[in-house]
Amino acid sequence: MGVSLQAVFPESDWCAVAPLSRIDWLPLEPAVVPQAVLGWLAEQGSLTRRLRAEAGDLSVICLQQGVTDDDPGLWQRQVLLLKSGRPWVWGLTQAPLSTLACYPQLATQGEQPLGDWLFGVAGATREGLVWADLVADPALRQVLAAWQLPAPEVLWARRSRLLLSGGDCTITEVFLPDAPLYAGGEEKE
């Protein structure tokens, strides 16, 4: 592909997230995660579809996409999913270039939610769904401050692998402070 990782909207107020620190992902266990949060973290289908079911317009800002400098065999895309102009989810999609060779459409979604294509046209299935609290991650704390979002007590995230007939990709989704799973002051138990 030969494309370097670049900021797609350098003139915007939104900035890309620096690489995350090492994350200890945990299996989803109802005894550990509050019920209201579990419904969002355990969603097996398209998070895009779930977000559309909530009130307000859904929009996507592509923050960055391309081949990473750290791993020239890895393509990635960072996006913000917004509802009524408020950021609800930061998403990171990572795919080996072999998957991109089979599915070049992965890199042409622009400001379209990737879930529409993955769960529609591509027929992806999800496996290995795990979660973490990323409130202490320095890159996320820095970008939340830059985005002028409040520093939460907990920052719920999930990660999974999406299987396609000709490859796979990994999706990391961080639920930002305005996301509905924080309604009611749910905290990690």
- 60 within 8 A of 80, measured Cβ to Cβ: yes
| Phi-psi domain of 110 (left: phi exceeds 0; alpha: psi -120 through 50; beta: other) | left
* Nearest alpha carbon to residue 132 among 92, 98, 97, 72: 92
| Cα torsion angle, 26, 30, 36, 42, sign | positive
Amino acid at the residue 61:
I
The reported pTM is 0.87
* Nearest alpha carbon to residue 133 among 59, 37, 55: 37
Percent of the chain with pLDDT over 70: 88
Amino acid at the residue 105:
Q
- Residue-wise pLDDT tens digits, 91-135: 999 999 999 999 998 888 888 888 888 887 667 888 999 999 999
In this prediction, residue 133 carries a pLDDT of 93
| Band (21; pLDDT cuts 50, 70, 90) | confident
Q: How are beta strands 156-164 and 58-67 bridged, if at all? A: unpaired
- Residue-wise pLDDT tens digits, 59-102: 999 999 998 888 889 999 999 999 999 999 999 999 999 999 99
What are the φ and ψ backbone dihedral angles of 170, each rounded to 5 degrees?
-110, 135
Question: SS in 3 state form for 12-43?
Answer: CCCCCCCCCCCCCCEECCCCCCCHHHHHHHCC
Exposed e or buried b for every residue in 29-43, given b needs 16+ CB within 10 A?
eeeebbeebbebbeb
* Nearest alpha carbon to residue 8 among 134, 102, 119, 107: 107
Exposed e or buried b for every residue in 99-112, given b needs 16+ CB within 10 A?
bbebbeebbebeee
